[in-house]
Structure 1
Amino acid sequence: MRRLLLTSSFSATADRLATFLEGSPRNHTVAFIPTANLPQGSDGYVQEARRAFTDMGCQIDDLEVSTADPETIRRSLEEDDLIYLSGGNTFFLLQELRRSGAADLIRQQVDQGKPYIGESAGAVVTGPDIGFLDAMDPRSAAPDLESTAGLGLVDFRLLPHLDSEPFAGVTRKILDRYGDDGPMVAISNSQAVAVHGQCLTIL
């Protein structure tokens, strides 16, 4: 059964992780993938997520898929207890997940029941397509990305940061433009989506 926790801001919703896991995350190892943040100007939210995990007693296993060798990627994704993908540029993230081979390995692990935690870009990339996010994330950050088809771990498009600054205006524009094109779930920075198989819950 696929298990995913999709958030706009992990640090703001980290208190829901235990509910999602149905138990304490203490002593869990986390394959911590900050790749989406590389094109960004700051990494504050990445550091906040890191602190949130460590405050809960998790052990961080940093995995930068844009530079890691294939064996390191395989080991981390297969052996760690949780998979976490940070926020940042969704197009760059998808490009690097495909280029590194991590996309297929993540799908395999999630299909086997390993919990996946995605924040912002890390949440959006789980859907059927990420093209709708071009008003928020510049595609120019991913010049080698040939397709905007996502990982397909969920059958809906996740729109993060609904009505949350500095994205309040652009999220409403995205909803107006793409909201009727297929299933879309929009969440604010204080909300999270828990997926257990076919069951979806807003936390």
Structure 2
Amino acid sequence: MKMLLLSRFVGAVPKFLGAASAGSRAALRIAYVDDASQPLGDAPFVGRERAQLQDLGYTLVPVTIGDGTAADLSAILDSADAVYVAGGLADHLMAVLRRTGADSVLVERIRAGLPYIGASAGAMIMGTSIDPAIALDGHTDGVSLGDLSGLGLADVVILPHADGQLPPYPPATITEVARRLEGTPGLTLLADDDGLLVEDNHLSRVASPAT
């Protein structure tokens, strides 16, 4: 199992995927899952996040899990070299994964060795709980998610954007959320240029600067 859990920036991705040159990157197909951003429409960060990977030279295969089935996702992952789950609203993302059964597909593929990259919401869902997402954003309109458990492939509870540099989450907000979650087992604060590398049961911090 190999995962890279990011807050915002993707500078750690080339080393994680082992593709140093632009030419070798273009040969890698990344399934780019955008469900977390669907309720946000054309919010500026959505295009910027996708552009980060495109600027690095990767071939992205757009995926909206909620428009299909678990079998559709499985078929796409058959020809993917990695999967990237983008940021947005974590409770909406978890609701889609559970409704379609794609949660089981992701867990199975990651455990079988498919490299996983998640940013913000995409990182939070791999932990044991998405409580920080609710503390930061509240509940998504129309989403009734009684169980805030994540997929549990990493024994952490991730609070992203912890340096307070992203405008929706200023330092005062991050400080208050961290205070409210104090004592949560596995609580891990990630700055925007920070990441967690998960290799089997080993977790380590890595730098992931803007590109």
Same fold (TM over 0.5): yes
Q: Which amino acid aligns with 2:101?
A: G
Residue 209 of structure 2 corresponds to none
Q: CA deviation at 1:155?
A: 0.6
Structure 1 residue 142: Cα displacement: 5.0
The answer on 1:6 being equivalent to 2:5 is yes
TM-score by length of 2: 0.86
Partner of 2:75: 75
The residue that corresponds to 1:19 in the other structure is 15
Q: Deviations over 1:96-137 (max 9, x none)?
A: 011111110000011011111111011111111112432212
Which amino acid in 2 is paired with 1:111?
A: R
Contact preservation (8 Å) 1:28, 1:57: no
How big is the alpha-carbon RMSD for the aligned residues of Structure 1 and Structure 2?
A: 1.8
Structure 2 CA distance for aligned equivalents of residues 188 and 100 of structure 1 = 31
Q: Is the 8 A contact 1:132 1:174 kept in 2?
A: yes
Counterpart residue number, 1:177: 180
Contact 1:7 1:192 in 2 (8 A): yes
Q: How many residues of Structure 1 are paired with residues of Structure 2 in the alignment?
A: 199
Aligned to 1:186: 189
Taking only the aligned residue pairs, the percentage that are identical comes to 26
Q: Which SS does the other structure have where 1:175 is aligned?
A: helix
Q: 1: distance between equivalents of 2:132 and 2:43?
A: 24
Query: Cα distance, 1:72 vs. partner?
Result: 2.1
The TM-score normalised by the length of structure 1 is: 0.90
**Runs of 5+ in structure 1 lacking a partner?**
none
Greater Cα shift, 16-25 or 52-61: 16-25
For 2:3, the aligned partner's letter is L
Gaps of 5+ in 2: 207-211
The aligned residue for residue 96 of structure 2 is 96
Aligned 8 A contact 2:130 2:149 in 1: yes
Helix, strand or coil: the match of 1:139?
Answer: coil
Distance of aligned partners of 1:106 and 1:45 in 2 relative to their CA distance in 1, 3 Å threshold: same
